[in-house]
Amino acid sequence: MQCLERSTTNMKASSSRSIADSRPATARGCRVAAVSRAAAVRVQCTLQEARPAVNNGVPVGVPKGAVPNRPILEVPDWESHYRRHTARQTQPTPASLSRLRLFSGTSNPILAGEVAHYLGMELGKIKCKRFADGEIYVQIQESIRGCDVFLIQPTCPPVNDHLMELLITIDACRRASARSITAVVPYYGYARADRKVQGRESIAAKLTANLITEAGADRVLAIDLHSGQCVGYFDIPVDHVYGETVILDYLASKRIATGDLVVVSPDVGGVARARAFAKKLNDAPLAIVDKRRSAHNVSEVMNLIGDVRGKVAVLVDDMIDTAGTITNAAKVLAKEGAREVYACATHAVFSPPAVERLSSGVFQEVIVTNTIPVAPENVFPQLTILSVANLLGETIWRVYNAASVQALRD
C-alpha cells in the first residue's frame, strides 16, 4: 500500500514538470528577459547613487588620489610633512652634487688649493704626520666610499719621503672603499732613470711606476714627463699633459716678433720637445746645443747647430736641476750673438748651485711653473713662476667626466 502511494506521488510530480516544459519557449524567454531588465535597472540606480558628481572630469568632494566608495585614512598635515621631507632630499650638498673628491699631500698644498679653487670645491680632510722614527701616518678623515678620488702629490725633494707618502695615501683611499683613485703627480720623481746607460743599472722610473700601481692607483695624471717611455712603464692609464701651454701663453704676452725668435734645445734629447714648442710659436726656427756629459750633473757644451745671431733665444727644457746644462747653453748662445736669452722649464728642481748660476746675469728671464714649490730662498729677480692650477683643474674635470684630454693640447 505504501509503495502504491509513493509511486502515485512520483507520477504527479513528473506530470507537473511535463506541463511546465510543454509551455512555449518564447514565454520562458520573456520572463527571463524581464527579470534581467529589472536587475539591470537596480544595478544602474545603485551606480548612479554611488558615483560622485563630476566637474570637468574631476570628482567633486573626493580627495585627490582617492577611489570613490573606498574608505579614506585621513593623516593630519601629511602634505606639509611630505614637502619638508622632499625639500631636505633635494637640497644640494657636496656629497650629492658629485662623487669627485680632491685631496692634497704635504709636498705642494698651495698648488692643490689653487686646483680646488678652480674646480669650485674644497680639499678633502686628511691627516698626515710623521712619527719620531720617520714613519709616515695617513688617515682620510671623511667618507669617500664610492667616490672618485684625486690625490695631488708631486714627488719633489725630498723625493723618497713624498713618494712614500703618496703610496701610503693611495693605500688609505683604497681601504676606505674609494671607487677610483687617480694619482695626480705634477712632477714625477726618478723619471730620469728611464733606461740603462751602463750595465747593472736600475730603471728606477719603471720601479716607481710599479709601486704606484701596486699601491692601488687606477690612473696617473702627470705633467711633462722626462721621456715618453715613462708612460709605457705604467700598467694603468696615464694622462700626460704638457706645461708648455702655460709658458706659451706667457711668451705670447711679451709680443716678441716672430722673425726675432729662435727656439733652442739645450741637448739632443730635448729636440722633439723644442720642435713642438717652436711649432706653436708660428713655426719659429730651431737650434740645437750639442752637449757632452762626462758625469752625473756635470755637462760640457761643445757645438751649436743653427743660427741665433741677433735673435731672442728661448731655451726649452722639462726641468732645471743644478742648471749646469741650461747655463752652459746660454753662454754659448750669448757667444754666438744672441740678443737675449730666456730659459723656460716646467719643473724648478733648483738643486744647489742652481740659483747662483741662473742669477749670474746670462738670462734675461727664467720662466718656470709651480709643479714644484720654490722655496723663498731660491727666488731671484729674473725668476718668473707660472701656475699650472688651471691646467690641472681642467684636466681633472675632463678625466672625471670622461672627456677628451688631448683636446687641451690641440
Same-domain status, 252 and 352 = yes
pLDDT of residue 372: 98
Same-domain status, 301 and 328 = yes
Same-domain status, 335 and 370 = yes
Question: Quick check: is 13 in a domain?
Answer: no
Same-domain status, 360 and 337 = yes
Across-strand partners of 276? none
pLDDT of residue 368: 98
Query: Residue 8: how many CB atoms within 10 A of its CB?
Result: 9
Question: Quick check: is 164 in a domain?
Answer: yes
The CATH number of whichever domain residue 225 belongs to comes to 3.40.50.2020
pLDDT of residue 59: 56
Query: What gap in Å lies between CA 147 and CA 94, rounded to an integer?
Result: 12
Same-domain status, 137 and 157 = yes
Helices (H) and strands (E) in the chain, counts: 13, 16
Same-domain status, 325 and 252 = yes
Question: Quick check: is 181 in a domain?
Answer: yes
Query: Residue 71: how many CB atoms within 10 A of its CB?
Result: 6
Same-domain status, 177 and 252 = no
Listed in sequence order, the DSSP H helices in 176-304 are 204-215, 229-232, 244-253, 271-279
Q: Is the dihedral of CA 206, 212, 214, 218 positive or negative?
A: negative
Same-domain status, 215 and 302 = no
pLDDT of residue 144: 97
Same-domain status, 275 and 350 = yes
- List average pLDDT for each run of 10 residues in the chain, which is 410 residues long: 45 46 46 48 47 54 53 52 46 57 97 97 96 97 97 97 98 98 98 93 97 98 94 96 94 89 92 94 93 66 87 96 94 95 98 96 97 96 97 96 89
- Given a contact cutoff of 8 angstroms between Cβ atoms, the answer to whether 158 and 114 are in contact is no
Q: How many domains does the chain have?
A: 2
Same-domain status, 257 and 267 = yes
pLDDT of residue 409: 80
Same-domain status, 190 and 148 = yes
pLDDT of residue 349: 97
Please give the residue range of the domain that contains residue 125.
97-242+395-408
Same-domain status, 112 and 236 = yes
Question: Quick check: is 212 in a domain?
Answer: yes
- Cα-Cα-Cα-Cα dihedral of 272, 273, 279, 283, to 10°? -80
Question: Quick check: is 62 in a domain?
Answer: no
